């Protein structure tokens, strides 16, 4: 049975994870020659700088209230200018991949911490790392879906020829509606949830 403490843990972990996700985008852009996120003061773990009313507050609370099988959200995207990068096409692919890689890093660190905890450790510590694993698996999988503006689309766009890339990137203006439609139809659930269960089992329960 989910308690209010469980919900608090999940919300705090989600906030931290989506903030780290965005900071990773900004640092990746900076290493590739684009200081836009740094100059905007977004290379910080201060959650206030990254709060998005819908993605960081409304959506997670809505998913909790409807007892959704998974919890997702997003922070305010960091500003990126690909034209300041040494190789804009390759740069955007790397910047796009940086966010999910940050989540994957949290997954692996949490799984290692779980394995290292002694049996005498407080149950809250086990719950903390399990929630961190679970939430970041969902975030990584969700963001890798190749629907603009999700991160997976940045990687796919870099692999397409120019004409197809322009048309594909143009879908971004309808991206939020596409994502809501896929969620409503349960199509994302059918892909994300089975993958999540396999990964969570292998890392946490096996």
Packing angle of the helix pair 151-159, 162-169 (nearest 10 deg): 160
Split at pLDDT 50, 70, 90, the class of 6 is: confident
Task: Kindly tell me if the per-residue pLDDT of 64 is higher than 70.
Answer: yes
Identify the pLDDT of residue 1. 52
Active site residue 22: yes
Distance CA 169, CA 121 (A): 48
Residues 175, 167: contact at Cβ < 8 Å? no
Which two three-digit tokens encode residue 134? 């679970």
Q: pLDDT over 90 for what percent of the chain?
A: 59
For range 146-151, the mean pLDDT: 91
Distance CA 126, CA 160 (A): 43
Residue of 150, 128, 145, 112 whose CA lies nearest to 18: 150
Split at pLDDT 50, 70, 90, the class of 92 is: very high
Identify the pLDDT of residue 2. 60
Q: Which residue has the tokens 């790392």?
A: 129
Question: What predicted TM-score, i.e. pTM, was given to this entire model?
Answer: 0.90
Identify the pLDDT of residue 82. 94
Task: Kindly tell me if the per-residue pLDDT of 138 is higher than 90.
Answer: yes
- Tell how many helices (H) and how many strands (E) occur in the chain: 9, 0
Task: Kindly tell me if the per-residue pLDDT of 121 is higher than 60.
Answer: yes
* Helix, strand or coil, per DSSP, at residue 148: coil
Residues 179, 142: contact at Cβ < 8 Å? no
Identify the pLDDT of residue 8. 81
Among the listed residues 22, 143, 179, 204, the single catalytic one is 22
């Amino acid at each position: 049975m989910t308690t209010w403490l469980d919900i608090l843990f999940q919300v705090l972990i989600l906030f931290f994870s989506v903030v780290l996700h965005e900071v990773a985008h900004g640092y990746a852009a900076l290493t590739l020659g684009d200081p836009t996120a740094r100059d905007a003061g977004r290379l910080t773990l201060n959650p206030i700088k990254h709060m998005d009313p819908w993605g960081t507050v409304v959506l997670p609370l809505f998913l909790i209230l409807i007892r959704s099988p998974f919890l997702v959200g997003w922070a305010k995207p960091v500003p990126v200018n690909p034209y300041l990068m040494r190789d804009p096409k390759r740069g955007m692919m790397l910047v796009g991949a940086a966010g999910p890689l940050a989540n994957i890093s949290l997954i692996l660190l949490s799984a290692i911490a779980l394995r290292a905890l002694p049996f005498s450790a407080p149950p809250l510590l086990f719950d903390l790392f399990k929630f961190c694993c679970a939430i970041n698996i969902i975030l990584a999988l969700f963001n890798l879906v190749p629907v603009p503006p999700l991160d997976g689309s940045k990687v796919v766009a870099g692999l397409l020829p120019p004409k197809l890339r322009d048309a594909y990137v143009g879908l971004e203006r309808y991206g939020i509606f596409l994502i809501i439609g896929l969620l409503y139809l349960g199509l994302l659930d059918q892909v994300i949830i089975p993958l999540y269960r396999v990964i969570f089992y292998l890392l946490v329960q096996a």
